[in-house]
Each structure stands twice: as structure tokens, then as C-alpha cells.
Amino acid sequence: MSGLEHLRADFPVLQREIGGKPVHFLDSAASSQKPTSVLEAMDDFYRCCYANVHRGAYALSVESTERYEAARSRVASFINASDPTQVAFARGATSALNLIAHGWGGEHLRPGDRVLLTEMEHHANLVPWQMVAARTGARLDFVPLTDDYRLDLEALEQKLDDDVAVVGVTGMSNVLGTIPPIPRIAEAARTVGALLVVDGAQLVPHQPVDVQTLGADFLVFSAHKMLGPTGIGALWGRPERLEEMEPYEGGGEMIADVQLHTSTWAAIPHRFEAGTPPIAEAVGFAAAVDYLDKVGMDQVAAHDADLTAYALQLLAEIPHVTVYGPADVDARGGVISFTMADVHPHDLATILDQQGVSVRAGHHCAKPLMRRLCVPATARASFYVYNTRTDVDALVEALGVASRIFGVG
């Protein structure tokens, strides 16, 4: 037990009952629930000081701008960025990755260049690179996984040569839970002068992250997976990399000057924030990282590890359950993909739902990884600060129901 059991009371949705059963929410890898403090921060902001940001000469706009920029500083300090201008707000990790792929890759990739990704990337860190590769003549290459579901670092080092312009890797697999050693990958990428892009959508919500020691050039993450609202995420970049990147969207807020035929861009990071930004969402994002920092990211990681170890142990005792991911909790986060005999994951998810257990079933936006695992889909349980061992027990009991209905074992 990790001692965070009291946090569940902070999450209004988790106080509900559905079909007479408590909510055992095990789908935080898709999106997390929100604590009261985040809901209130956004509500208070709309009630007290909302107006559009930047260039407003009146008090409300000034206050709103201050709150928006304070949120940027807060998110920047959460990942220990040395300056808030290194953080651009985006719609989420997906749009941030698109910005990097199109804005940096589209500008700098040349025919013959290679973009080295991994077999376990979410579609968000694959499809944008496919689009940019098609446009620039760059080629995609992939680091395979080992049989124990880790990134094959030897293969990575073999594939790294001077043609590799970009290395793109997830900080934590949303399917396997695998956490690759980013600092080591960063060092290898640096030796060939490749840019390192880290998809932190799963990593940043669950592990302490310090961009000053991570070694990445870009790190992206989404607020909604870390107790914050939907519609906002962050892109952190080294200042020189941000300067090299072209804006992906043009419009208001992102310009310095506009003529009829040409424009010049605002300074970083505002040049990447065309249009009215998600202002209240930024305020909610800041409240979410406040909450996480108050708990302590080391505690968050330890809590995930406790639940993961407990769940892995119980799942291993259920006949015909196969778990896909590293067995060692030090090499993984709290995302557990599994299958049960010939019961299709969709059927599992339906049966579990009837027991009050919310899991995701499907390809988890990682179809190439599903092919690598030779399964059409998996069921996936994922944990966060508000989960308890009771949720894991409910999962195990519900799997017993599924096993009875399908006559497994």
C-alpha cells in the first residue's frame, strides 16, 4: 500500500455508482479523471477574470493574460524547464507532435534522411512522420522490441548513423507500459547529431521528469491524461530547436507584423499558438500540476508501481491470462495490456463494465505494435493516483465472471 488511498475522495466522478456498483476506473492511460481543485480553478477563472488574452487594454484581459502566462510558467516549472518561453501550449500531445513533424521535420528533413521511431509508438508519433516523410523524401525506420517487451537498445545503436535526422520515441508505451531509458537514447542520438523527440503523453503524468537531465530536444504531453482538462497540452523544446521550427498554423496571436503578402512571426513560444488559445484549460492545467506536485511525483510513481506489482501478481495467478509488457516494475509504468484465452478483448471489456470495471479494449492506437504482438487487440487496465488495490481486486473478480461466461479453463 502506498498511502495515497485518501486521494480518491478528491475526484467527484469516482464517488458515483453505476448500475449499483462503485466506479473502478482503470482507463487513465486514455484519459484521467479530474480532482475538484482543477474543476474549481477553471470555474473560478470563468467567474472572476475571463477575457481574451494578449493586447487587451482593459483589466479583465490583463488579468486573463497574467493567468494564462502564469499557467505556462507553472507547467514549465513542473518539468523543470529553465524558462517558460520553452513551453508552447498545443491542443494536446498529438497536435504538438504534428507541429514538430511538420514544423521542424517539414522544414529540415531532406531526401535520404531517416526518421528513427520504435515499434511501440502511438499513432500520434507515427502518422505525422509518415506524412512528412512522404513530403520530404525522408525514410522511416523502426527500432524493434526485445522478446521481453523492452526497446532493443543494441538495435537502436546499430541503426543510428549520420543519416538519422530525428529519433522519435515514447517515454512510456501506452500499451506495454515499457519505459525506455531516455537519457541513454539521448546520448546515442547526440553522437550522430539527431534530434530526439519524446512523446511524454504517458510518461509525464506518471513519473518525475526533468527536461534539463532528460536529454531530449522536444517533449510533448497532454493535460487530460494528468488530471487536467481536455483541449490543451504542452510542447517543450530546447530554445535553439524552437527557433528552427516553422509555425504549423498561421493566424492571430502568432504574428509580429502582417502585410498583404507576407508576415513575420512573433517570438517563441507565441508563434506556435495561432488563434485564441485554450485559456481556462491552461488555468486548469496549472491546477492539475499543482495537485500532482502536492502529492509529489515520486509518490505518484511509487503508487503506480505498487498497484502494478499487485496487479501483475494477481493476473499471473489467473489461468489463461496473458500479460503483454515487462515483468519488472522498474522498467514499466502502470499500464497493463492483457488477453484471456480466446475471449476477445471487446467481450472482456463489456463483461468487466457490467461489474463496474472500466477498461479499454482494442488496438490502443498502436496497430503496428498489435501486429508485432500477433494479437488483433488487447484489453488494457491502467492506474493513476486515485486507484486503489480494491480496484485491482474488482478487476480480478470481474475476470472470473468473464472466464465463467466463456467457459475458459
Partner 1 sequence: MSLEELYREVILDHYRNPRHRKPLDRADAHAEGVNPLCGDEVTVELAVTDGRISDVAAIGQGCSISQSSASMMTDAILGKTVEEVRDLIQRFKAMMDIDHEADLGLDPDRPGAVLGDLEALQGVRRYPVRIKCANLPWTTLAQALDQLSAS
Containing 196, the helix (H) or strand (E) segment is: strand 195-199
Q: Choose, by CB under 8 A, the member of 5, 63, 141, 347 that binds partner 1.
A: 347
Q: Choose, by CB under 8 A, the member of 183, 296, 346, 397 that binds partner 1.
A: 346
Active site residue 374: no
Mask of contacts with partner 1, 353-382, x by CB under 8 A? Answer: -x------xxx---x--x-----xx-----
Kindly determine how many residues on this chain lie close enough to bind partner 1 according to the rule CB under 8 A. Answer: 20
Q: Which is nearer to partner 1, 265 or 406 (CB)?
A: 406
Interface of this chain with partner 1, residues 133 to 172, rule: CB under 8 A: none
Query: Whole-angstrom Cα distance, residue 11 to residue 227?
Result: 10
Q: Which is nearer to partner 1, 124 or 204 (CB)?
A: 124
Query: Whole-angstrom Cα distance, residue 120 to residue 126?
Result: 10
Is 236 in contact with 258 (CB distance < 8 Å)? no
- Smallest separation (angstroms) from partner 1 to the CB of 367: 8
- Smallest separation (angstroms) from partner 1 to the CB of 337: 14
Q: Which is nearer to partner 1, 126 or 292 (CB)?
A: 126
- Smallest separation (angstroms) from partner 1 to the CB of 372: 15
Strands 87-90 and 24-25: unpaired
Q: Which is nearer to partner 1, 192 or 365 (CB)?
A: 365
Query: Whole-angstrom Cα distance, residue 156 to residue 217?
Result: 18
Please list, in sequence order, all residues whose beta carbon lies within 8 angstroms of the beta carbon of residue 169, skipping any fewer than 6 positions away. Answer: 117, 118, 121, 125, 143, 151, 180, 182, 185, 196, 197, 198, 199
Q: Which is nearer to partner 1, 94 or 387 (CB)?
A: 94
Q: Choose, by CB under 8 A, the member of 153, 274, 401, 408 that binds partner 1.
A: 401
> Does 405 contact partner 1 by CB under 8 A?
yes
Query: Whole-angstrom Cα distance, residue 244 to residue 366?
Result: 30
What is the length of the chain? 409
Helix (H, G, I), strand (E, B), or coil: what is residue 273? coil
- Smallest separation (angstroms) from partner 1 to the CB of 363: 5
Q: Which residue has the cell 504538438?
A: 96
Q: Catalytic residue, from 48, 49, 365, 374: name it.
A: 365
Please list, in sequence order, all residues whose beta carbon lies within 8 angstroms of the beta carbon of residue 128, skipping any fewer than 6 positions away. Answer: 97, 98, 100, 101, 102, 105
Active centre residues (catalytic): 365
Chain contacts with partner 1 (rule: CB under 8 A): 342-347, 350-351, 354, 361-363, 367, 370, 376-377, 401, 405-407
